[in-house]
Structure 1
Amino acid sequence: MSTVERTSSSLAAAGAAPAAIGPWRRFVPWQGRATRLDLALMGAILAVVALGLVLRPLKPFLLASHPVLLAFLTGDLTAIGAAAAFARIGEAPLWLVVAAGAAGMVKLDWLTWWTGRQWGLGIVRMFTTSERALRVAGRATELRPWALRVAVVLAVLPGVPTPVVYAMAGMAGMRLVTFLFLDFAGALAMTGLVAGLGYGLGQQAVDVVLLVDRYASVVSLAMIAVAMLIPVVRRLVRRRRSPAVTAGGSRGRGSGRARRAGEPGR
């Protein structure tokens, strides 16, 4: 069976999954019983998410002390711009900043490509709830090869659902070598643009980074506090809305019963 046929079969199986299985199916991209490969891929995805959460409060510290390392670890555009600004004042070679930033952006993208090849639309449903994105992803095998290649190169642009595009590349049967080459080309172009802006700003950008470093502890604690408070605030808002909705419904039912009680017998 060809790659396209295998991909089409997986898409058909994903589309044929009954909706009555339960809401937990949204968090399980595979069909049927999980294999060792399924569990390994899911474990890798969770590890990447955990790594991002661990690095988040450390970013303000690394931004001023090791911006090139931060650019490699996170692929963050802010880190790339800061590292380029330090390169302007001779703290690091610019080529290293660009290479570290591009490598940081693409170093784990192969994992998303693999999940698309393994799970088809199942992984896309985890990445997005947009019906339009699901319809486009469902036609991944029908896209012309050049269109999909352009999409992979442009996936680094802001506003583009990057994981969906990379999963589509895996679903459509794009070779891993081709995917990595196109992915790195797009990341290199974006990194070069951001690094050029940071290099042009030079000392001004470095001063801003050093100011962030001075208050790094406060920034990190504030980020952690906000991340912890957001779920609490959402629960409080839901609790305040629920009694109002219940009371409104009760008043409506009570008024209806009063009107029926006041009606003359027929």
Structure 2
Amino acid sequence: MSSLSFAERSRRWVPWQGRRATAADVALMAAIGGVIVLGLVVRPLRPYLIASNPVLLEFLGGGLAEIGAAAAFARIGELPLWLAIVAGVAGMIKLDWLTWWAGRQWGLGIISFFTTSERTKRFAERARELDPWLLRLAVVLAPLPGVPSPVIFALAGWTRMRLIPFLLLDALGSLLITGLVAGLGYGLGQHAVDLVLTIDRYASLVSLTIIGFALTVPLIRKLIRRLRRKEVGRLSTGPAGTQESRPG
């Protein structure tokens, strides 16, 4: 029973069906793991690249802040505005096909992997019956802030949307949001650049703080769990440190 219980609990971290993973499952999980590692590597580099090479940071990170910063540099003539927009779009969509593939390969399994919300899972199951045009519109709107884009991209793959239309719709939505953010950054111009340069000046401190925080938090959590276990053990024993005797 205990092994079965463990297997049931481990299903949360296994998006595929069945006991054994196929070669495609392993390759896809490795690719998703690579995306996670890339995000962890880029995070401490952001304070440096946002001032020295915002176009590269746009492509690597694909974030809205990076797009706005690149457009601000374009305003003062450091780089062409079209390059900031193209790099922003490429950065936002470069790995979305992996999520589409995961939806095609695993269906609801990958959606459950992305979210624990039962409401989102029910929505995903109902969305399979939606008009295909509504799903296409959802893909276009997925890059907007606050929208669960991984769920929508996985749903597109699950419903067998073809890859080329998916990439075109994804690129269209990313172009719309990139153009909007780039326009704001271009309008701010020198004020935004001054802010970016200030961030760059303190880049070392920011990076060390991020790295230190990432290393410290797991240790603190581990210490808290250890203290809680000791407290539970102390309360379960008598004053002398032995099990309290019960009346016979």
Residue-by-residue CA offset, 1:16-54 (whole Å, 9 max, x unaligned): xx9873322222111122111111111111111111111
The 5 A counterparts of 1:108-257 are 108-244=95-231
The 5 A counterparts of 1:8-157 are 21-32=7-18, 33-157=20-144
Residue-by-residue CA offset, 1:202-243 (whole Å, 9 max, x unaligned): 111111111111111111111011111121222233344445
**Could you tell me which amino acid in structure 2 is paired with residue 28 of structure 1?**
V
**Cα separation, 2, equivalents of 1:170 and 1:140:** 12
Larger radius of gyration: 1
227-236 or 171-180: which moved more?
227-236
**Cα separation, 2, equivalents of 1:203 and 1:28:** 48
Root mean square deviation, CA, Å: 2.0
Question: Cα distance, 1:249 vs. partner?
Answer: 7.0
**Cα separation, 2, equivalents of 1:22 and 1:250:** 33
TM-score by length of 1: 0.83
**Could you tell me which amino acid in structure 2 is paired with residue 170 of structure 1?**
G
Distance change >3 Å, CA 20–CA 57, structure 1 → 2: closer
Q: Does structure 2 retain, via aligned residues, the 8 Å contact 1:140–1:169?
A: no
231-240 or 219-228: which moved more?
231-240
**Cα separation, 2, equivalents of 1:243 and 1:202:** 57
Residues paired across the two proteins, number: 238
**Could you tell me which amino acid in structure 2 is paired with residue 224 of structure 1?**
I
115-124 or 227-236: which moved more?
227-236
**Cα separation, 2, equivalents of 1:50 and 1:208:** 28
239-248 or 153-162: which moved more?
239-248
Question: Tell me, which stretches of 5 or more residues in structure 1 are unaligned?
Answer: 1-17, 252-256, 262-266
Residue-by-residue CA offset, 1:132-158 (whole Å, 9 max, x unaligned): 111111223211112111111111122
Question: Tell me, which stretches of 5 or more residues in structure 2 are unaligned?
Answer: 239-243
Identity %: 63
TM-score by length of 2: 0.89
154-163 or 190-199: which moved more?
154-163
